[in-house]
A and B are shown apart, each in its own frame.
Chain A
Amino acid sequence: KQEVTQIPAALSVPEGENLVLNCSFTDSAIYNLQWFRQDPGKGLTSLLLIQSSQREQTSGRLNASLDKSSGRSTLYIAASQPGDSATYLCAVENTGGFKTIFGAGTRLFVKA
């Protein structure tokens, strides 16, 4: 059974700091891994999608890596801004079915 864990559960950093969010999964048989942000009371916004054959994806100040063999992904946020404050979720889509499994998320607060 696939389990997705995100560490830390919460993080508070000063503006401008670079930071790393971690995601681990127990079953490496995945099609893809996706990072989302969720703002309070709102739906999810897709940030980056990494296919199982890829090792990383970049978008602006965000970089996500995937090490499928070790069951890990990281989301790197450069030069953090208060507008980055949100909950960040990672999710894996398993092979052998269509179920997407989400981690519990990391609540990020960037202080101005």
Chain B
Amino acid sequence: GAGVSQSPSNKVTEKGKDVELRCDPISGHTALYWYRQRLGQGLEFLIYFQGNSAPDKSGLPSDRFSAERTGESVSTLTIQRTQQEDSAVYLCASSPDGRWKEQYFGPGTRLTVT
């Protein structure tokens, strides 16, 4: 079946603009994660959604970052007033049940802030 998809695959934006990144999880997966990977660095956890429970936002680096998910479907990660340090690959993963099951990753969105 279809895997996790993300759009756009690449995004170049000017400093100060807002961007919205989209993640389509695997159908039926209740858990969804967002991560950030800066060039040459490891993955940083940003946010976790599990069904209709309150999300775990503990990894969001600032109040310029927000994410939404409606039920168990699409999620959007929004970065307001982008800064150059926001340049990174943003990866989304979904899992059938969080904790007890594997995470399946999308191909990522490469964000470049000029």
Report which A residues bind B (CB closer than 8 A).
Answer: 31-32, 34, 36, 42-46, 49, 51, 89, 91, 93, 97-105
Distance between A66 CB and nearest chain B CB, rounded to angstroms: 15
CA distance A103 to B42 in the complex (A): 6
Evaluate contact between B99 and A32: CB separation under 8 angstroms. yes
The proximity string for B residues 29-65 relative to A, scoring 1 for CB distances below 8 Å and 0 otherwise, is 0000101000001111100101000001011000000
Collect the chain B residues with CB atoms within 8 Å of residue A97's CB: 56, 58
Chain B interface residue number, banded: 20 to 34
**Shortest Cβ distance from A54 into chain B, in angstroms?**
11
Q: Complex Cα distance A93/B98, Å?
A: 9
Report how far A104 CA is from B41 CA in the complex, Å.
Answer: 7
- Say yes or no: is B14 at the interface (Cβ < 8 Å to chain A): no
Interface residues of B in 89-110 (CB under 8 A from A): 91, 93, 98-108
Of B48, B104, B106, B107, which one neighbours A98 at CB under 8 angstroms? Answer: B48
Contacts of B42 in A (CB 8 A): 89, 102-105
19 A-B residue pairings within 8 Å (CB atoms): A32-B99, A34-B103, A43-B4, A44-B91, A44-B93, A44-B103, A46-B102, A46-B105, A89-B42, A91-B43, A91-B103, A97-B58, A99-B45, A99-B56, A100-B35, A101-B45, A102-B35, A102-B43, A102-B45
Smallest distance from the beta carbon of B50 to chain A beta carbons, Å?
7
Q: How far is the CA of A83 from the CA of B103 in the complex (A)?
A: 22
Q: A93-B99, A100-B103 are in contact. Are A43 and B45 (CB under 8 A)?
A: no
**Which of B59, B93, B99 has most A Cβ within 10 Å?**
B99
Q: Report chain B residues within 8 Å CB of A91.
A: 43, 103
Cα–Cα distance between A3 and B42 once the two chains are bound (Å): 12
Residue with the highest number of chain B CB atoms closer than 10 Å, among A43, A89, A91, A105 = A43
